[in-house]
Chain A
Amino acid sequence: MTEAVTPKIPLEKQKLLTVNGDEAVAWAAKQSLVDVVAAYPITPQTIIVEKFSEFVANGEVHTEFVPVESEHSAMSACVGAAAAGARAFTATAANGLALMWEILYIAASLRLPIVLAVANRALSAPINIHCDHSDAMGMRDSGWVQLFVENVQEAYDTTIQAFRIGEDERVLLPVAVNLDGFFLSHTLENIHILPDEAVHEFLGGYRKVPKVKVDYFEEEVPLMLNPARPLSFGPLDLYDYYFEHKMHQIEAMKRVPEVVREVNEEWYALTGRRYGDGVLVPYEVEDADVIVTVLGSTAGTVRHIVKKLRGEGKKVGMVRIRMFRPFPHKELAEILKGTKVVGVMDRAISFGSYGPSFLEINTALYDLKEKPLLVNYVYGLGGRDAPPALIEKMFEELLRDAEKGFVEKKLRFLGVRE
């Protein structure tokens, strides 16, 4: 443990707010000097944009608010705005995110640092408005940075951080902030928010556009749509240059972890809050025989059970994966390498395969000389509850596996009726 530092804005200077996760995100966007919000309502995201539209109507923000006719248009409008140099924000969930799909790729490949809040919700059919991560996992290959938060405070903190991360010249990629639908989006929590000026200073004011060099201008020019210094965004790019442009995205992703860590530390110095190293949040992992990995709000329950089992002398731990894209393979392998069994919790499944984070962790551990046993727990689909008793049952199973030294069933379904 490092010694606690006094944050630049001490807690008594931060405003206490009783809000749900959606409102927390709206407050974060409000303070982030967003130029354009284009959005379409969908449960459980609706409150974010609803709250934000109140700020617009009250004249509390300078933002241009575009109530579009679909999520496809929402993301398209954000792409246009960001290409014109604006700081753009939107929010969606589930089927809305699915409808944004093709534009997600465009936002990423044009290197537009749009911030998108996703109130994670199950995809249809059958229609379901409750939480799982099937929506977020559908966009995992689109070139976006993906962060998953555990609570309402973190939803606020991470939304502000997302602008800094995405707009950093080393990154220049769009960032998705994932908060569990209903578990976070609609759950009230007391949170601390910063004064407006502190957020403005943290973000360095309005968005700064990076510069690029093209042959037809002597000087570097801003990477934006500007009739005075014209650039073409998104023209035809065939087998001659497309591959090279994909390399830019691959390289940018490599630089994301260092920026996420820096921003996490800077946030800590400012507010007194940080989330592990920003990428992974380990808990009681040293000497653990069993470690469970988890994304999102379930981490709270898992932590509670780890604490309880540790009290009973059982060597268990947890790692919360805060950053899913880019995936921290090496860092995770470093934490998991000494353990006997790793239980990977996935609130989504790739039909015909395993859960998405299981596939990543399998990849992460492959190069270890001594590999821990690996079990995938798919849980909580469509908002199915994962109460403490169920999590405890999972740990008991994993402890038995650790004792036996082998795993019979690699893919297990937690909390489903036979």
Chain B
Amino acid sequence: MSQPRGWKELPIGAVPFRLSTDYKTGDWRALRPVVDMNKCVKCMLCWIFCPDMAIIWDGEKILVNYDYCKGCGICAHECPVKAIDMVPEPSE
């Protein structure tokens, strides 16, 4: 991120000047979902329930977009075969 802008440089109406995708919400996360593909039955419930569209199906396996995953744990909660573990992020 560059220098925060002053009010004279901002568009009126408080509309954001950048795309919401530029705002990486992944750093809100305390727990990260880790998928065990050996247990996964590819039902895609995690993909359906993820409120941040952070679950990605690459054609073979489930991936998590850690740029936007806030670590809410809904995917792990919904997984019928307990293939997703919520693992603490390393505290730095």
Question: CB within 8 Å of B: which residues of A?
Answer: 109-112, 172, 210, 212-216, 223, 231-235, 237, 240-241, 244-245, 247-248, 251-252
B6 at the interface (CB under 8 A from A): yes
With the chains together, A210 CA to B20 CA distance in Å? Answer: 22
10 more A-B residue pairs beyond the given contacts A233-B14, A237-B14, with a C-beta to C-beta distance below 8 A: A213-B11, A213-B17, A214-B15, A223-B13, A233-B13, A240-B4, A241-B5, A244-B6, A245-B7, A248-B12
Closest approach, in angstroms, between the C-beta of B13 and any C-beta of chain A?
Answer: 4
Q: Report yes or no: B7 in contact with A212, Cβ–Cβ below 8 A.
A: no
Q: Report yes or no: A110 in contact with B7, Cβ–Cβ below 8 A.
A: no
Question: CB within 8 Å of A: which residues of B?
Answer: 4-7, 10-20
Most buried by A among B5, B6, B11, B19: B11
Chain B residue numbers with a CB within 8 Å of A223 are 11-13, 15
- Number of A-B residue pairs with CB-CB distance less than 8 Å in the complex they form: 61
Q: Report yes or no: A234 in contact with B11, Cβ–Cβ below 8 A.
A: no
Q: Report yes or no: A232 in contact with B15, Cβ–Cβ below 8 A.
A: yes
Contacting B13 at CB < 8 Å: which of A110, A213, A244, A251?
A110
Chain B residue numbers with a CB within 8 Å of A240 are 4
Chain A residue numbers with a CB within 8 Å of B10 are 241, 244-245, 248
Chain B residue numbers with a CB within 8 Å of A241 are 4-5, 10, 14
Q: Report yes or no: A214 in contact with B18, Cβ–Cβ below 8 A.
A: yes
Task: Give me 16 A-to-B residue pairs in the complex whose CB atoms sit less than 8 angstroms apart, sorted by A's number.
Answer: A112-B13, A213-B11, A214-B17, A215-B17, A231-B16, A233-B15, A235-B16, A235-B20, A237-B14, A241-B14, A244-B10, A245-B7, A245-B14, A247-B7, A248-B10, A248-B12
Q: Report yes or no: A111 in contact with B4, Cβ–Cβ below 8 A.
A: no
Chain B residue numbers with a CB within 8 Å of A232 are 15-16, 20
Q: Report yes or no: B18 in contact with A111, Cβ–Cβ below 8 A.
A: no
Closest approach, in angstroms, between the C-beta of A251 and any C-beta of chain B?
Answer: 8
Q: Report yes or no: A212 in contact with B14, Cβ–Cβ below 8 A.
A: no
Q: Report yes or no: B4 in contact with A234, Cβ–Cβ below 8 A.
A: no
Known: A111-B13, A172-B12. A216 touches B18 (CB 8 A): yes
Most buried by B among A112, A214, A233, A240: A214
Q: Report yes or no: A212 in contact with B15, Cβ–Cβ below 8 A.
A: yes
Chain A residue numbers with a CB within 8 Å of B15 are 212, 214, 223, 231-233
Closest approach, in angstroms, between the C-beta of B23 and any C-beta of chain A?
Answer: 9
Chain B residue numbers with a CB within 8 Å of A233 are 13-15
Closest approach, in angstroms, between the C-beta of A80 and any C-beta of chain B?
Answer: 14
Q: Report yes or no: B14 in contact with A109, Cβ–Cβ below 8 A.
A: yes
Chain B residue numbers with a CB within 8 Å of A248 are 7, 10, 12, 14
Chain B residue numbers with a CB within 8 Å of A213 are 11, 17
